[in-house]
């Protein structure tokens, strides 16, 4: 750690800048806490998240059930802890799908240009013309409701943003002298694209990915809330809120904690993303 902090590579400088921003460090800390919750769920959960209990229906929070119990007597705390897995998984997997699809397409469009660029750009426009969540709902509807399909639907729906961003960055970078030099040395185009252009467009992609995780977490919760994501009885924050909505007058605790968790995780990724933007990409301010 100290060697990273004292060396002065661009990445180390960016990391130092990031760690100086209190909001970003707070965001990072919250993300780390949720990652720990997700990975240690079997040990942190006080109850089996699926175990029902007819003697403990909609019980208010107590020493036994910290966040209370739900409509069929399951422990809300344990379900919130296990639900972290669905949300984090959805955030990370969806954005990975967007990156895997979007970056190569954007690179191709920006680097090759011409008819290829025209085709990819028009296709991107068409995807962007459908509001993000509506497109994700339609995709999830046709693929069938499941967490995996929800992640694919969110990933595909979020791809156009990455295509556009990569394309714009690549077009800026490819006219730089060092790219000209790489070409002049006789590097084949694919090598110039991947070895020389791509590394120089990663900073904005990292920022966008972090913010996209925040949107993907909300999108997964939304799809699960509508019944198109994680299927019951497996715990997810969105589907917990869907049930909680019907018991809000009798068991408000069922709605408070899953919602608060979504809020905290999304806020954390947004703070981290804003911090990364300031640290990595001063031009975007």
Partner 1 sequence: MWGFLARRLATILPTVLLVSMLIFGLQQLLPGDPAKILAGEEQDPQVIAYLRARLHLDEPLPVRYAYWMGGVLQGDLGESVRTQQAVLDLVIQKLPVTVELGLLAMLIALLIGVPSGIVCAVGRGGVWDTVANAFALWGLSTPNFWLGILMILLFSVQLGWLPASGYVSPFEDLRANLAAMIMPAFVLGNAIAAVLMRHTRSAMLQVLSSDYVRTARAKGLRETTVVLKHAFRNALTPIITLGALELGTLLSGAVLTEQVFSIPGFGKLIVDAVFNRDYAVVQGVVLITATTYITLNLLADLAAFAVNPRLRP
Task: Enumerate helices (H) and strands (E) in the chain, giving the number of each.
Answer: 13, 0
For partner 1, the closer of residues 122 and 283 by Cβ is 122
Interface with partner 1, residue 130, by CB under 8 A:
yes
Classify residue 231 by its DSSP letter: P
Tell whether residue 122 is a contact of partner 1 (CB under 8 A): yes
Question: Does residue 282 interact with partner 1 by CB under 8 A?
Answer: no
Residue number, 169 or 239, with CB nearest to partner 1? 239
Among 156, 139, 129, 130, which Cα is nearest to 223's?
A: 139
**Interaction pattern, residues 249-278, with partner 1; x per rule: CB under 8 A:** x--x--x--xx--xx--xx--xx-------
> By the 8 A CB rule, do 154 and 219 touch?
yes
Closest by CA to 143, choosing from 133, 153, 134, is 153
User: Looking at the chain, how many residues does it have?
Assistant: 285
Q: Give me the least distance between CB of 101 and partner 1, in Å please.
A: 15
Centre a 10 Å sphere on the Cβ of residue 162 and count the other Cβ atoms it contains.
26
From the list 63, 142, 175, 177, which residue makes contact with partner 1 (rule: CB under 8 A)?
142
Q: Does 61 bind partner 1 (CB under 8 A)?
A: no
Alpha-carbon Rg for the chain, nearest whole angstrom, is 22
Q: What residues from 210 to 229 belong to the interface with partner 1 (CB under 8 A)?
A: 214, 218, 221-222, 225-228
Query: Which of 138, 140, 136, 139 minimizes the C-alpha distance to 154?
Result: 136
Which residues are at the interface with partner 1 (CB under 8 A)? 122-123, 125-127, 129-135, 137-144, 214, 218, 221-222, 225-228, 241, 244-245, 248-249, 252, 255, 258-259, 262-263, 266-267, 270-271
């Amino acid at each position: 750690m100290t060697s990273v902090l004292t060396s002065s590579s661009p990445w180390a400088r960016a990391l130092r800048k990031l760690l100086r921003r209190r909001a970003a460090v707070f965001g990072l800390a919250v993300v780390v806490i949720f990652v720990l919750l997700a990975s240690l769920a079997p040990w942190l959960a006080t109850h089996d998240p699926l175990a029902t209990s007819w003697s403990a229906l909609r019980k208010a929070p107590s020493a036994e059930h910290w966040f209370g119990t739900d409509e069929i007597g399951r422990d809300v705390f344990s379900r919130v802890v296990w639900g972290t897995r669905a949300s984090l998984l959805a955030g990370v997997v969806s954005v990975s799908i967007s990156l895997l699809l979007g970056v190569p397409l954007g690179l191709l469009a920006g680097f090759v240009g011409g008819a290829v660029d025209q085709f990819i750009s028009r296709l991107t426009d068409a995807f962007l013309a459908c509001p993000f969540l509506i497109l994700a709902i339609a995709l999830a509807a046709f693929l069938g409701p499941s967490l995996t399909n929800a992640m694919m639907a969110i990933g595909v729906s979020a791809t156009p943003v990455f295509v556009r961003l990569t394309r714009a960055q690549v077009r800026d970078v490819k006219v730089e002298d060092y790219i000209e030099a790489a070409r002049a040395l006789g590097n084949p185009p694919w090598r110039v694209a991947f070895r020389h252009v791509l590394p120089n467009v990663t900073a904005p992609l990292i920022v966008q990915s972090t913010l996209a995780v925040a949107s993907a977490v909300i999108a997964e919760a939304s799809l699960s809330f509508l019944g198109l994501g994680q299927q019951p009885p497996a715990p997810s924050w969105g589907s917990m809120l869907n049930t909680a909505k019907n018991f809000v007058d009798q068991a408000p605790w069922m709605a408070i904690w899953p919602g608060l968790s979504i809020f905290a995780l999304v806020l954390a990724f947004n703070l981290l993303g804003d911090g990364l933007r300031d640290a990595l990409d001063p031009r975007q301010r």
